[in-house]
C-alpha cells in the first residue's frame, strides 16, 4: 500500500494481497482521520459480500473468488467514543463463472486485492461523524452528535 495526501484528499494505492477496508482504517489511524468517505475501483482475488436480513438481524455471507473486477466500492469510516474505527462499505464486482459473465454486490465484509485498487479517501472535517450503536438492528449508524453543540 502507498498513499499521498493532495489538498484535502488521500489517494490510496493498494497492492496484491492487501485487504482494502483494514488498509483504509490503517491510513485513517496513521493520519489521525476521525471520519471519512471513500470510493474506488480495482482488481481483486476474493471478497466476502453480505446481505442484511432484517427479520433475523443477521447477515448472509457469500464469498466469491477469482479475477474480480471491482467495478465500484463506496463507504465510510467512522470512530466511536472509545476510539475504535469501523467501516460501512458496499461494493460491486464483475467476474466470470462457468463461462458466464456475472455481477455480485452488497455490503462488503472484506476484500483482497489481486493486482491493484485505487481509492479516493476523503476526510470529513471537524467535528466529524461518529458511530452510534443501534440496538434495534444490532449495527452502527452515523452519529452527528448534539445539534445544539
Residue 79 placed within a domain: yes
**Which tens digits make up the pLDDT trace of 7-63?**
999 999 999 999 999 999 999 999 999 899 999 999 999 999 999 888 887 889 999
Residue 148 placed within a domain: no
Placement of cell 462488503 in the chain: 108
The DSSP code sequence of 101-137 is: EEEEEEEEEEEEEEEEEEEEEEEPPTT--EEEEETTT
Domain count, the chain: 1
What pLDDT does 20 receive? 98
State how far the Cα of 64 lies from the Cα of 120, in Å rounded to an integer: 24
Give the number of other Cβ atoms within 10 Å of residue 109's Cβ: 16
State how far the Cα of 26 lies from the Cα of 33, in Å rounded to an integer: 10
Residue 149 placed within a domain: no
Residue numbers of the domain that contains 65: 2-125
Residue 62 placed within a domain: yes
What pLDDT does 149 receive? 47
Residue 131 placed within a domain: no
The DSSP code sequence of 79-107 is: E-TTS-EEEEEEEEEEEEETTEEEEEEEE
* Residue among 120, 128, 142 at smallest CA distance from 8: 120
* Residue among 111, 120, 106, 13 at smallest CA distance from 60: 106
Residue 112 placed within a domain: yes
Residue 147 placed within a domain: no
> At 37, which CATH number?
3.30.1330.80
Residue 145 placed within a domain: no
**Which tens digits make up the pLDDT trace of 67-124?**
999 999 999 999 777 778 999 999 999 999 999 999 999 999 999 999 999 999 999 9
pTM here?
A: 0.89
State how far the Cα of 142 lies from the Cα of 86, in Å rounded to an integer: 11
Amino acid at each position: 500500500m502507498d498513499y499521498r495526501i493532495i489538498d484535502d484528499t488521500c489517494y490510496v494505492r493498494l497492492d496484491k494481497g492487501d485487504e482494502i477496508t483494514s488498509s483504509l482504517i490503517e491510513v485513517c489511524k496513521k493520519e489521525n482521520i476521525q471520519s471519512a468517505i471513500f470510493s474506488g475501483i480495482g482488481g481483486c482475488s476474493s471478497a466476502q459480500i453480505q446481505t442484511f436480513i432484517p427479520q433475523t438481524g443477521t447477515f448472509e455471507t457469500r464469498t466469491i473468488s477469482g479475477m474480480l473486477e471491482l467495478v465500484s466500492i463506496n463507504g465510510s469510516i467512522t470512530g466511536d467514543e472509545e476510539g475504535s474505527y469501523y467501516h460501512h462499505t458496499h461494493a460491486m464486482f464483475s467476474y466470470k463463472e462457468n463461462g458466464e459473465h456475472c455481477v455480485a454486490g452488497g455490503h462488503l465484509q472484506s476484500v483482497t486485492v489481486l493486482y491493484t485498487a485505487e481509492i479516493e479517501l476523503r476526510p470529513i472535517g471537524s467535528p466529524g461523524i461518529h458511530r452510534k450503536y443501534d440496538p434495534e438492528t444490532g449495527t452502527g449508524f452515523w452519529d452527528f452528535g448534539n445539534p445544539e453543540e
